Amino acid sequence: MNYAMVVNQFGLLVMLLSGFMLIAPAVAAAFRGLPGDASAVGAMIITGTTSLLLGSVAFLLSRKGDKFLGRKEALLLVATSWIGGALVAALPFWLWALWDSPAGHPFRSLVHCYFEAMSGLTTTGATVLGGEQPIDIESLPPSLLLWRSLTHWLGGLGIVVLFVAVLPGLGVGGKRLFNIEASGPAKEGLQPQIRETARWLWYIYVGLTVAEFLLLRTLGGLDSFDSLNHTFATLSTGGFSTRNASIGAFEGNLFVYPIIITFMLLAGVNFGLYYKLGRGKLTNIFADTELRVYLGLTALGTVLIALTLIVNQTPITMTDATVHETPGWLGAFWHSTFATVTSLTGTGFCAPDFENWPFLAKGLIVTIMFVGPCSGSTGGGMKVIRVWVGIKLLLAEIEHIFRPQVIRPVRLGNTTLDPELRLGTAIYLLGVLVLFAGGAFLVMFFEQFNSQQDLDPITALTASIATLSNVGPGLGLVGPTGNYGGFTSPSLLLMSLLMALGRLEVYAIIVLFSPTFWRRD
């Protein structure tokens, strides 16, 4: 293992993070003014400068020597980027809290800050903030709010570049693991010119960012600060909001819902498709199987959830506590669309409080959290393509029982899935389910151990999947109007690990637990 090169590249990443940390307070001050934000700006400048310094030292000291970055080094670097990066990103929260936060603020605990930063960088959007002032979201100084949203945006960009540009270029092995993600069913693949691809992805990402910002600012009627923050949180399918009621705070403007829904959906598409479309390598984007299943699933979820709302004549309570007593067909579809898209893409913005919805609607919402959007998008979860392959494998296996003579190949578009890929997909799905169950079990255990009271299992189960799938809110204590601030530190650290596992598609983190990985070879 060439540790020097890992340190070198991680140093570079820390320098990059620090740079944004130093820019953020200036932008926040420009939008919201400096008064009341002084201590937070101070905290960000101090941590930004310090980490810029440390990052530079690490980068410079490790500059010489072997430039080799092999498979193991790349995996270790990816894992370190999120696990270590979250620590760097957590420091401004913590320093500000030690310095100038009200008593009992969650950020006075470094673990809570780490959870929040990891939730940001992994584009999860689970927050420890919430409750009455001054520990709610809106009481946080503007520069910290912006930094919080910015971690989403950086994390989302990082993931797209990683999964669409970098990993498929790591050679055949890398292709094997990530070829479904990287190029969709057609295997022509993105060219291994990593820099070129990354540059294009950056254009696309920034382009979408500018478009959503302008739409929210003009049509949506949000001020510049809110527009910027919510744009960051949408395109990364993150979900941090600057408002306690999340998107529910903007219900007054008719355009906010459709803008947010559209961009959440766009962020859930494989960015490789945008790239191919932009480079003229694809004429019909809807030829992509995963995209069609993704849109079909969105439509199906919306209709089913709307129907349960209509049949049960459920009043829609919003996160800002306004209630639509008789929402009617249109209202039911309206809010069902929002709930479906925010859950499927793993954004986790809240507007209707689905905690009070019928059991069936809640069950569907949790189920689609497992699925997640397309591979190569900024969203988390199992990914549409894997679930689709999993369903095909199950059906093929059933037919195989009574027709062993028929060997029907499992196809995806024009490609026949080879045995290794089929096994890999099945094991991946199995692994996610094991992690989900293990996560829920450990959270219940940690909380029970600390409080001697059983944690409500719905909270534990949905907290586990909402972090593992990088969604954010779940049900129960972590529902649309709840938050993660009440968990004890072991649970928060565990859920930070779940977020990293989910974000990096499990393997990049789980290899760290393998003794063979660390062995010299």
- Least Å from the CB of residue 160 to a copy of itself: 21
Contact between 315 and a copy of itself per CB under 8 A? no
How far is residue 32's CA from residue 64's CA, in Å, rounded to a whole number?
A: 44
Amino acid at 244: N
The number of residues that bind a copy of itself (CB under 8 A) is 52
DSSP single-letter state for residue 375? T
Contact between 313 and a copy of itself per CB under 8 A? no
- Least Å from the CB of residue 406 to a copy of itself: 9
- Least Å from the CB of residue 130 to a copy of itself: 24
Binding mask 55-94 for a copy of itself (x = CB under 8 A): ----------------xx--x-------------------
Identified binder of a copy of itself from the candidate list 40, 339, 371, 461, rule CB under 8 A? 461
Q: Could you tell me which stretch among 158-166, 191-199, 290-298, 456-464 binds a copy of itself (CB under 8 A)?
A: 456-464
Q: What H or E segment, with its residue span, contains residue 157?
A: helix 142-160
How far is residue 259's CA from residue 256's CA, in Å, rounded to a whole number?
A: 5
> Which are the contacts of 332, defined by CB distance < 8 A and separation ≥ 6?
306, 309, 310, 314, 316
Alpha-carbon distance values, 52 to 48, 69, 349, 388 (Å): 6, 23, 32, 44
Alpha-carbon distance values, 202 to 113, 153, 164, 281, 464 (Å): 28, 11, 11, 18, 31
Contact between 433 and a copy of itself per CB under 8 A? yes
**DSSP letters for 59-122:** HHHTSSS-----HHHHHHHHHHHHHHHHHHHHHHHHHHHHHHPPTT-GGGSHHHHHHHHHHHHT
Identified binder of a copy of itself from the candidate list 221, 431, 488, 489, rule CB under 8 A? 431
DSSP single-letter state for residue 2? -
Q: Which is nearer to a copy of itself, 223 or 399 (CB)?
A: 399
Q: Which residue has the tokens 């700006």?
A: 41
Alpha-carbon distance values, 98 to 113, 117, 402, 498 (Å): 11, 17, 67, 27
Contact between 448 and a copy of itself per CB under 8 A? yes
- Least Å from the CB of residue 356 to a copy of itself: 12
Contact between 369 and a copy of itself per CB under 8 A? no
Closest-CA residue to 392 (of 122, 180, 108): 180
> Which are the contacts of 68, defined by CB distance < 8 A and separation ≥ 6?
2, 5
- Least Å from the CB of residue 431 to a copy of itself: 6
Q: Which of residues 342-361 bind a copy of itself (CB under 8 A)?
A: 358-360
Contact between 146 and a copy of itself per CB under 8 A? no
Contact between 402 and a copy of itself per CB under 8 A? yes
Contact between 426 and a copy of itself per CB under 8 A? yes
Q: Which is nearer to a copy of itself, 71 or 187 (CB)?
A: 71
Instruction: Give the footprint of a copy of itself on this chain (CB under 8 A).
Output: 71-72, 75, 172-173, 176-177, 358-360, 363, 367, 390, 393-394, 397-399, 401-405, 419-420, 422-424, 426-431, 433-434, 441, 444-445, 448-449, 454, 457-458, 461, 507-508, 510-511, 514, 516-517
